[in-house]
Amino acid sequence: MAIVIRKLEEYDEVEHFDCGDEPLNNYLKRHAWMNQQKIAIGVTYVAVEQSAPRTVLGYFTLAASSLKREQFPKKYVRGLPPYDLPLLLLARLAVDRRFAGRGLGAALISEALKIALHIAEEIGCRCVITDAYRDKIAWYAHYGFKPLGDAAAGKTQKMFLDVRTIRAAYDRAETER
């Protein structure tokens, strides 16, 4: 299966996408294009097969964000640069369940983290934040994401991955090539 990951396009076939989670299906079908093109609140990248380049098999959505320096507890401010902390939000990531178990999720997160590195070099980004469903916490932790705050509260869990860790992984992968 030759997979291509690229930005969502207007005529991509998303109507039959089913990852088993209605809010994630609905986001791709109803909001992803609008959010990307019209109101610019998130960019969606899709995985398609080369032989059927319009059918979306998986996707993730990214947005930039930042945390104001004043929001940090005083004891940590000294260790931070004198500006707001730029973050990359991995807002959604889903794979069509008919294509689950074929490494698509790994390919998607790999692309998302490479984009994070690229953004860190181009315009600055300190870490990647995601809001994981409870049953996906272990999957994100596998890639080094750390839970933020109270791990027992809420339906989802905010998780953190330092861009310096991603860069170290990239350098290690390059030297092992």
Catalytic residues, by residue number, are 140
DSSP reduced 3-state for 28 = helix
The residue written with tokens 């890639």 in the block is 143
Residues 6+ apart with CB under 8 A from 33: 8, 10, 44
Query: CB-wise, 18 or 49, nearer to other proteins?
Result: 49
Determine which residue in the list 1, 34, 106, 156 makes contact with other proteins, applying CB under 8 A.
106
Stretch that binds other proteins, among 16-24, 50-58, 93-101, 166-174 (CB under 8 A): 166-174
Residue 70 interacts with other proteins (CB under 8 A): yes or no: no
Query: CB-wise, 91 or 132, nearer to other proteins?
Result: 91
Determine which residue in the list 22, 51, 79, 82 makes contact with other proteins, applying CB under 8 A.
79
Q: Is the distance from CB of 43 to CB of 36 less than 8 angstroms? A: yes
Q: Is the distance from CB of 29 to CB of 18 less than 8 angstroms? A: no
Q: What residue type is assigned to position 120 of the chain?
A: A
Instruction: Return the CA Rg of the chain.
Output: 17
CA dist 81 and 58 (Å) reads 36
Residue 173 interacts with other proteins (CB under 8 A): yes or no: yes
Residue 85 interacts with other proteins (CB under 8 A): yes or no: yes
- CA-angle at 149, arms to 144 and 154, nearest 5°: 100
Residue 101 interacts with other proteins (CB under 8 A): yes or no: no
Enumerate binding residues for other proteins (CB under 8 A): 40-43, 62-67, 71-73, 76, 79-80, 85, 87-89, 91, 106-107, 109-111, 113-115, 118-119, 122-123, 126-127, 129, 142-144, 146-150, 158, 160, 162, 164-166, 168-170, 172-174, 176-177
